[in-house]
Structure 1
């Protein structure tokens, strides 16, 4: 009886992990297909001349690259593929960069909605195409700070031979001392605080304008407010993702099986879920983009969308 129980105890988690891996592959494939379709629509039409669509495309590109890299690492971890540390460092740079690009871009999109609704006369000046490109460069610059700090501490502490060791690629391999984890936590909390303040500020200002708007302006104003709320929900999921490594490390001290369950839940809820909300916000709720999306998704069988982007 004891022998049978031990066999079940070994095989059951393996079966669960196989099942979960398949589920993740299906979800990632669906999200990537939708994102690539949206990106194609963005470049085929003249959406790249409008600031909010440029920022939207930035999140789509960031989400797609992040999903591809994280999914490859998930498969490598499952089949226990190792790589040299220097290669893992390069992968970590891209993974960390695109982890922050999405929430920072969402904050920028919220600020763009704030300008459009609360400062409509200055929207054309502040949100021109040229300034949108500058904004994207700033987003990537701000998103690079966390990985620069983490790798700076790694380069200061690790020996030359460390980068040629074969290991499984995980973030934990870069943390030698507890203070490194505290530094990373402080950076994440700082980003969390700044983006939270920006979202709340924009929400309150737009709410004030919505209440004072005339009858004909209320519809567009409240639609902008709902967009900000969706951004806030998506951003909250992205920001919780920054806390996941600390939660998982604490759970790992308790039980490895519980650690696997928590990490799977975090991946689905705080990594995959936020990346499927972007298509909802602009790919479906935005009427102009949705009309163009239907046209190209149905290979021109749907009526041709209007080219007016004003």
Structure 2
């Protein structure tokens, strides 16, 4: 069984575990070998797949709703859209900065449907042209907002996602590497299963520190700090400063310390593909964290 389990992020609903493993597992093996000299076999790396949980049975891309600014819901979806836009204005010169009116939160427009729609449309259009997302249609952005909200709010979704992780964990598994929303899935699954043999958690491009995500975690944070994830010994968090999903790049002060200390926060540059899981996996700062857990297993 797999020694390393990868957990993907959002927008993978039309993929599958074998298809994702072709590139993601290969990237992980390449990264570990090039950074540490440790050679992994194909069977050593598995991909926990939960993208199908967001697709209605019997449907594929042709049945995907044509979402637009009218479909972004108040609450988490609007808050996350605003957070992404604000961060994009800080790291991308191509995204127009907020004007005085734009600084108002979504709640400020709840009395006018027209103004609310305009508020959302401005943000969707700006992000659709950001380097981080380009090229992307507005309905894709809305879909990603909805996947985050559905995972956090709908029990069948988070249950299916965590079960997908559990299905790949075996007595041989020592390292879990989780990307984007997958880092939330992996974190909560590890908290639920402190008896798992996993010693090392590696999160990349993670939104775990974003307040609107952090305060909804299971288990709930206590006095502003999240729980340490189960039986994990070491937790390494890797973020590209240009990755707008990893809005809060440092997790050390947002989670309780573990057996050997706080979260090890690391930064890197993924070039123009700031949020790309493959680039995170092949990066030495990620790969050395994976290798460390595997070497402990061999010691």
Q: TM-score w.r.t. structure 1 length?
A: 0.26
Structure showing the higher strand proportion among its residues: 2
Structure showing the higher helix proportion among its residues: 1
Q: TM-score w.r.t. structure 2 length?
A: 0.26
Decide which structure has the larger Cα Rg and report it: 1
